[in-house]
Amino acid sequence: MNSSTSSPSQTFSLEFHHRFPSYTAIILGAWPVLSVLMSAFEACRIPYYPVPPTGAILGSWAAFLILAPDLLGIGALSLFLSLVVFASLASRGLLRPEPVRWRSVIELGLLFLSVLFGSAV
């Protein structure tokens, strides 16, 4: 077998492993932290009930801890589905070869929009 050709399963595995670290960092790392920060920011903007910034941050972390199992489940499901979908498309040559940084941003942006519009329906 020629070393320049690889089977679809090997290509899928390679694409999957290339995407895994960045997807994991964004979905299970940055997403929860940004959610807490944005909910604290929004709590400070409530017009009829003044909330101090420290109270807003503590309240956001408390809400995050209460919702952690749900967020972990949604994050894991999103991670798995987006990895499988985009690794499958890339292994079949249906995605343009972009630099890794931009590819992750674009693919995770599409995931975010699909979750946003899916939950809005």
In a domain, 77, yes or no: yes
In a domain, 1, yes or no: no
In a domain, 2, yes or no: no
In a domain, 71, yes or no: yes
CB-hemisphere CA count at 13 Å for 23?
26
How confident is the model over 46-96, as pLDDT tens digits?
889 899 999 999 999 999 999 889 888 888 888 888 888 888 887 777 776
Predicted TM-score (pTM) of this structure? 0.66
Q: Which range marks the domain in which residue 92 is found?
A: 8-120
Report the residue count for the chain: 121
In a domain, 3, yes or no: no
What is the domain count for the chain? 1
Find the DSSP H helices in 45-120.
Answer: 53-91, 100-120
